[in-house]
Structure 1
Amino acid sequence: MNYLYLILGILLFILTLMDLIKTTFSSNGGGKITNTISKGVWKLFFVASGKNGKSGLLSYAGPAVLITILLVWIIGLWNGLFLMLLSDKGSIVNSSTLATATSLEKLYYAGFTLSTLGVGDYIATTDTWRIVTSLAAFSGLAFITASITYFVPVLSAVGLQSKLSLYISGMGKTPQQILINSWNGKDFSSFFDNVSDLCQMLMQHTMNHHSYPVIHYFHNNQVKLAIAPAIVLLDEAYHLLKLAGAKDELKMEMLYTTLKTYKETMEESFLKNAKAYNKAPTPDLAKVHQAGIPVKETEQVKRMFEQELHEHRQLLTALLEKDGWTWKQVYDPSY
């Protein structure tokens, strides 16, 4: 008995199984292995695309992350069982000749056991290995079920992400346009009519992000369908509404709370120690003034956006940059 192979096999099998369970059944995000691999695959695509959010290459990052995670789980479980079987020279024999299985034959046996095919041309020699085989087969069945259970809601969450992005960008291509489009000459009632639906989608997206952080790597290279510029667009519009004296306090508070919760979720998972390499611009309110919207004086606007909101907007800058975007996608409609 080779105890080194046995211990390594058990550890690899258990660690992979724990990561799979944490990722697929927990509501608190993915396992450490899954998260590390996801970040690594995304970084590879991000660098290869030139860190350009409009690159079509980034559209393949999300599917590539899912496929890589699946392959890592398969390899981890397969090799874990293989090492356990390899620890005992006589663990597996040919069912017809009873000849001791070679290393490659044990690898084959481990594979068809986990895939629950049950070919039967090789068999375990002792009760211990029969029990190990049965446990591995049940794990394989659970693995297949868990993967399907995980991937379906992930893809559904990605759909909601695109829907939310389109909903926000449909209100206006810039924060100023959102204000102008919402202004009826007296107030912003048309904007607040949509806040409940908007907050509901944003809260659901935030919860999805918390449960399935892998959706962060599903990138859309169309600005109107990209989530990072959409969230920043909405956040900037919220602060402009405050400057314009929007009076629906309840819905303003709802919007503030949902945006804050989203920001906190990003800080916990993707923006830890994130650095912003560019400065957030001060919004030009000339067109807002022309529309007759009563915003505060230019100096008050400048002080609010450049001083009071400096740290907050630096975080928004990092959010944009880590997804390949800039503030041009928020304040310049031509981009």
Structure 2
Amino acid sequence: MYFMNLLYLFLGALIFTLIALDIIKTTFSSSGGGRITELVSRAVWKTFFSVSGKEGKSKLLEYAGPSILTCTLLTWVLGLWAGLFLLLLSDPDSVINSTTLSSASPLEKLYYAGFTLSTLGVGDYVASNDVWRIITSVTAFSGLAFITASLTYFVQVLSAVGLQSKLSLYINSMGKTPQQILVNSWDGKGFSSFFDNVSDICQMLMQHTVNHHSFPVIHYFHNCQPKLSVAPAVVLLDEAHQLLEQAVSQDVIKSEVKMTMLQTALDSYLEMVKGSFLKNTSPQEAAPIPDIGKMEEKGVPIKNREEVEQTFKQNLKDRRRLLSSLLEMDGWPWKEVYQS
């Protein structure tokens, strides 16, 4: 019996501490979620992704993000509840009935742990001595603090998801394909309208990357409309940037500062995704070679076609493999980027 009480004490303290640290790491840290939160997030996403047939247009995937937040909250609540319950079980007389002064049963201790964490303070059961009164007070304050922190965290997550959709829509409004983005901004001499938008795009993309570090769960908020989904939008932007850099003639005047800004913003995003979410960079679908014929028809000065194709096949091979993995991880094919 003594051994079981020690076991309950150890397990209860361990579970409560691990959950508390996970909540603190997730809600107060700017360097990502706690280990438990990450495991829950990935498990829920994989379940939704598999059931949806790994199809990005599946409406089922839109419920993955909210489900992850719900499951995370339930994990935190149940973990704290279980931890306090096990602590109370370690002492048969830890909780007593406030009227009869008799020791509470395990079920009654479970009830006491629940209303303590929720700070309801019903009062029909009370702690039996000063030690358990202090533990009750500490866990009650913890419950109040963690509930408040969780709600604040969820509001910040939803705000970050809104920026994600705004970024996607902004990029797609410039053109449906990488070639169309450049053709739409070609004025006969340069791409002034494209560069006019680069500052805003870079600002949103960098903020989105920072949000990923603070709230990794936003990566699992999916939109079944390609124009509102961030993965195809980033790939669309990166391909347009590479076409501008590698395919357009060097005689065309380009803003080197804004080209560098865009390259840095894209690289930062891709490095973050690769380090935190992409475990497999060997995609099933190969990236297509972009057709630059339409750009030539619109009068955009183009480098040698064979040279451009070779650059996209060889020089950009690793980068475009990463882009393919990014698309596949979110359930999108390349045809959503290079639409006919």
TM range (shorter): over 0.9
Please, which of 104, 108, 111 is the counterpart of residue 107 of structure 2?
A: 104
Count of residue pairs the alignment pairs up: 333
Structure 1's consecutive aligned runs of 4 or more residues displaced over 4 angstroms after TM superposition are none
Q: Distance in 1 between matches of 2:77 and 2:216?
A: 21
The 5 A counterparts of 1:35-74 are 35-74=38-77
SS at match of 2:243: helix
Please, which of 241, 245, 258 is the counterpart of residue 251 of structure 1?
A: 258
Shift of residue 148, structure 1, vs aligned partner: 1.2
Shift of residue 332, structure 1, vs aligned partner: 1.1
Please, which of 289, 295, 301 is the counterpart of residue 282 of structure 1?
A: 289
- Letter aligned with residue 51 of structure 1: K
Q: What corresponds to 1:113 in structure 2?
A: 116
Shift of residue 275, structure 1, vs aligned partner: 2.5
Encode CA deviations 1:51-104: one digit per residue, 9 max, x unaligned: 000000000000000000000000100000000001110000010111110111
SS at match of 1:83: helix
The 5 A counterparts of 1:1-335 are 1=2, 2-242=5-245, 243-244=247-248, 245=250, 247-333=254-340
TM-score by length of 2: 0.97
SS at match of 2:337: helix
Shift of residue 297, structure 1, vs aligned partner: 1.3
- Letter aligned with residue 86 of structure 2: L
Q: Distance in 1 between matches of 2:143 and 2:302?
A: 62
- Letter aligned with residue 20 of structure 1: I
- Letter aligned with residue 124 of structure 2: D
Q: Distance in 1 between matches of 2:276 and 2:78?
A: 26
Q: Distance in 2 between matches of 1:83 and 1:274?
A: 43
Q: Distance in 2 between matches of 1:184 and 1:152?
A: 43
Encode CA deviations 1:9-50: one digit per residue, 9 max, x unaligned: 000000000000000000000000000110000000000000
Q: Distance in 2 between matches of 1:316 and 1:172?
A: 19
Q: Distance in 1 between matches of 2:272 and 2:327?
A: 15
Output the aligned Cα RMSD. Answer: 0.8
Q: Is the 8 A contact 2:57 2:225 kept in 1?
A: yes
Which ranges in structure 1 are unaligned for 5 or more consecutive residues? none
Q: Distance in 1 between matches of 2:282 and 2:24?
A: 33
Q: Distance in 2 between matches of 1:14 and 1:256?
A: 43
